[in-house]
A and B are shown apart, each in its own frame.
Chain A
């Protein structure tokens, strides 16, 4: 743990450990008479009554946090994890060592020594810390189409990374082994932002993708990586559920090149029951992205019976047309049984085709079908002449008929960032 060997990147498998793995017992610890030890003068016997507490803290302005730390007889965090710890950027200090996290709409109020919903941020003595700075647990060189981005440098490679944790808990999560655990429960690397930029270059990736789990929860690390990578002329894209507060999102939009939003459904009920989140803040995030001119694509995972009605598709597509415009790509992707939703079958292809028909009828220019390799709706068509301008098969780009951002057949502008 903590040492990175680039050869591990040769595949696309996630570098996680089985969190059920039983570690071998260590034999270097204390063997004495435990009961006698427990009876000996212990930490609870230290004279920290109310009077002494006041003495300790009164008149020594800055010592409140420090005194607790010293009295506890230990560092704030275990030595092996301190290198991953940074003070969090968006939070508010409250009375009695509590804090309110301001990073996502959940706005967790967190007591001393407790963590937020995401599981990767911890309050210590009224200061809030991220525990996943420079602590990626998954690193891969992926085709950009895997994110999926279909209108962003097609055929390019994205150096993709994630830390543990997530601020929602989707019952269908395909990455739950890293997203729904705390950082201590997965094997991680120690990679500072400059090293990420260097590795991306070594693997000939033009783009860094913050993906797999939820980049919002490793915001500080992501922002520093973005800066390091921009210095190396690398692009930065974010794959997110869009459940993020407006202020950090605005700062993010100023420095990254594209964002893909997993819009899980178009109903609050689904968000509450299946996602453990809320729809409204996600829609607000999409509008913020649109207003800030960031290239945005949307993925809608179609889960049979739960978010696949014609009515929901129509309302979704209409909302996109009105609020974001007809050039925002939407990917209707196929669900496969995962995590806590194993009793629901994969999405019928016909359902996905119906969703695309509804999007087309609503006037959206770029509606795709995903997770169905070889389906004709993986291709990008020119909205004017209808010819194929990007031909794809799975994650492979076979042909690009775009020049200077325009269809080579009819010179119509094709929305996106093409690099050709």
Chain B
């Protein structure tokens, strides 16, 4: 091999070399052998016509979903399969559209469940891109060491070194990289004007310093590549997608006239399977309301397929291999 060829090869392979080594054990763990399970848990009475949520019913709904996902009669046992009592848990909410943010009641239910399963309140961090986003979403900033903490990436800043994979090279927020042992991803089920849909994988753009660089080409392969960054891939263990009120058009901005009460949660450990399933829900609603499909409007979220390909192995998007469990 000539020097020139060696350099060129090295240029293209840098990201791969940096990443594949530490990820190899994880790939074995995370890639589902046969099927991925996605729980869709719904309750028609969970909110009134003015979208006021019943917190108690929501807690019960969450318990049902977790029990179903982990095949157990005891919700605490289910949570213990996700986190241990010693771990610091980050709750990545989505607050970029103010009123259309992850419901506080859902975050409260998750916090309660975590505490019941032994996680100390001090070890729970509600986190988003900017503190101002959280405030717009109705959250109260708490940067103290006492109690459940809540702040944006602007509080602790970003890592010194890049994490890289494929098209993505980013600094990771210190909240995730330094503080959190595990992340529970709490996105919202909604349409996205560039990426087609935004749910679990896209929500992790809130963990990097340069998300504005990755909104090209309907987010493909960027969204999948960002999720491959070690701090993200290694720490996101569970996604609970807030689908109490979903949005089938005009996202990610808050567009009340394009929202509908889905009255549900989507829960999975496989982010790809969850995103694929959520995408189908949005497509069904679009069809019902005589909107063109995302493919027809040039916004098919192909990044979901990319995330499932042989290089990424982030999960499954083959409907034949997704076990979709609906709990009413």
B103, B162, B210, B212: most-surrounded residue (chain A CB, <10 A): B212
Option from B52, B130, B160, B212 in Cβ contact (under 8 Å) with A117 = B212
B75 proximal to A (CB < 8 A)? no
Q: Which residue of B lies closest to A71 (CB)?
A: B99
B73 proximal to A (CB < 8 A)? no
Chain B residues, CB < 8 A from A185: 157-158, 209
Whether A96 touches B215, Cβ cut-off 8 Å, given contacts A49-B49, A304-B7, is: no
- Using an 8 Å CB-CB cutoff, how does the interface string of B134-168 with A read, 1 for contact, 0 for none? 01111111111111101000111111101010000
| Cβ contact within 8 Å between A19 and B209 | yes
Count the B residues whose beta carbon is within 8 Å of the partner chain — how many? Answer: 74
Segment 1-55 of B: residues with Cβ below 8 Å from A: 4, 7-8, 10-11, 14, 49-53, 55
| Cβ contact within 8 Å between A38 and B7 | no
Which DSSP category, helix, strand, loop or mixed, fits chain A's interface? loop
| Cβ contact within 8 Å between B141 and A276 | no
Option from B99, B107, B169, B259 in Cβ contact (under 8 Å) with A46 = B99
Chain B residues, CB < 8 A from A73: 136
| Cβ contact within 8 Å between A47 and B51 | yes
| Cβ contact within 8 Å between B14 and A343 | yes
B174 proximal to A (CB < 8 A)? yes
| Cβ contact within 8 Å between A37 and B140 | yes
Q: Which residue of B lies closest to A46 (CB)?
A: B99
* Distance to closest chain A CB from B76 (angstroms): 16
* Distance to closest chain B CB from A119 (angstroms): 4
Option from A31, A37, A276, A343 in Cβ contact (under 8 Å) with B146 = A31
A29, A30, A44, A305: most-surrounded residue (chain B CB, <10 A): A44
| Cβ contact within 8 Å between A53 and B11 | no
Chain A residues, CB < 8 A from B143: 25-27, 29
B121 proximal to A (CB < 8 A)? yes
Chain B residues, CB < 8 A from A305: 4, 7-8, 11
| Cβ contact within 8 Å between A31 and B147 | yes
Q: Which residue of B lies closest to A45 (CB)?
A: B52
Chain A residues, CB < 8 A from B159: 20
Chain A residues, CB < 8 A from B104: 37-39, 42-44
A1 proximal to B (CB < 8 A)? no
Chain B residues, CB < 8 A from A48: 51, 99, 256
* Distance to closest chain A CB from B124 (angstroms): 8
Segment 224-254 of A: residues with Cβ below 8 Å from B: none
| Cβ contact within 8 Å between B138 and A44 | yes
A180 proximal to B (CB < 8 A)? yes
| Cβ contact within 8 Å between B210 and A74 | no
| Cβ contact within 8 Å between B215 and A72 | no
A116 proximal to B (CB < 8 A)? yes
A220 proximal to B (CB < 8 A)? no
A7 proximal to B (CB < 8 A)? no
Option from A26, A45, A74, A119 in Cβ contact (under 8 Å) with B51 = A45
| Cβ contact within 8 Å between A30 and B141 | yes
| Cβ contact within 8 Å between B155 and A23 | yes
Measured CA separation A108–B257 after assembly (Å): 25
B96 proximal to A (CB < 8 A)? yes
Option from A21, A29, A78 in Cβ contact (under 8 Å) with B132 = A78
Whether A23 touches B215, Cβ cut-off 8 Å, given contacts A43-B104, A96-B250, is: no
Whether A22 touches B50, Cβ cut-off 8 Å, given contacts A39-B104, A74-B136, A118-B212, is: no
Whether A182 touches B50, Cβ cut-off 8 Å, given contacts A20-B171, A29-B141, A29-B142, is: no
Q: Which residue of A lies closest to B138 (CB)?
A: A43
Segment 263-284 of B: residues with Cβ below 8 Å from A: none
Measured CA separation A21–B160 after assembly (Å): 8
B117 proximal to A (CB < 8 A)? no
- Using an 8 Å CB-CB cutoff, how does the interface string of A43-71 with B read, 1 for contact, 0 for none? 11111111011100000000000001001
| Cβ contact within 8 Å between B144 and A29 | yes
B118 proximal to A (CB < 8 A)? no
Segment 81-98 of A: residues with Cβ below 8 Å from B: 96-98
Measured CA separation A74–B98 after assembly (Å): 10
Measured CA separation A111–B195 after assembly (Å): 11
| Cβ contact within 8 Å between B156 and A22 | yes
Option from B8, B52, B55, B140 in Cβ contact (under 8 Å) with A39 = B55
* Distance to closest chain A CB from B4 (angstroms): 5
A18 proximal to B (CB < 8 A)? yes
| Cβ contact within 8 Å between B150 and A34 | yes
Chain A residues, CB < 8 A from B174: 20, 22
Measured CA separation A23–B151 after assembly (Å): 12
Option from A42, A108, A119 in Cβ contact (under 8 Å) with B210 = A119
B84 proximal to A (CB < 8 A)? no
A406 proximal to B (CB < 8 A)? no
* Distance to closest chain A CB from B1 (angstroms): 13
| Cβ contact within 8 Å between B140 and A30 | yes
B101 proximal to A (CB < 8 A)? yes
Chain B residues, CB < 8 A from A31: 142, 144, 146-147
| Cβ contact within 8 Å between A111 and B252 | yes
| Cβ contact within 8 Å between B257 and A181 | no
Measured CA separation A29–B55 after assembly (Å): 26
Whether A181 touches B210, Cβ cut-off 8 Å, given contacts A22-B157, A48-B256, is: yes
Q: Which residue of B lies closest to A108 (CB)?
A: B215
| Cβ contact within 8 Å between B112 and A35 | yes
| Cβ contact within 8 Å between B209 and A68 | no
* Distance to closest chain A CB from B298 (angstroms): 12
A293 proximal to B (CB < 8 A)? no
Measured CA separation A115–B121 after assembly (Å): 34
| Cβ contact within 8 Å between B111 and A35 | yes
- Using an 8 Å CB-CB cutoff, how does the interface string of B191-205 with A read, 1 for contact, 0 for none? 001100000000000
Chain A residues, CB < 8 A from B67: none
Q: Which 6 A-B pairs have the closest CB atoms?
A: A43-B138, A38-B108, A112-B253, A20-B160, A34-B148, A53-B256
Q: List 14 A-B contacts (CB under 8 A).
A: A18-B160, A19-B171, A20-B171, A22-B178, A23-B155, A37-B140, A38-B108, A43-B137, A47-B50, A49-B51, A68-B254, A96-B253, A117-B212, A185-B158
Besides A21-B157, A98-B193, A111-B194, 20 more A-B contacts (Cβ < 8 Å) are: A19-B209, A20-B174, A34-B148, A42-B105, A44-B51, A44-B103, A45-B53, A49-B49, A96-B255, A111-B251, A112-B97, A113-B253, A114-B215, A114-B253, A117-B212, A181-B210, A306-B11, A340-B162, A343-B10, A343-B14
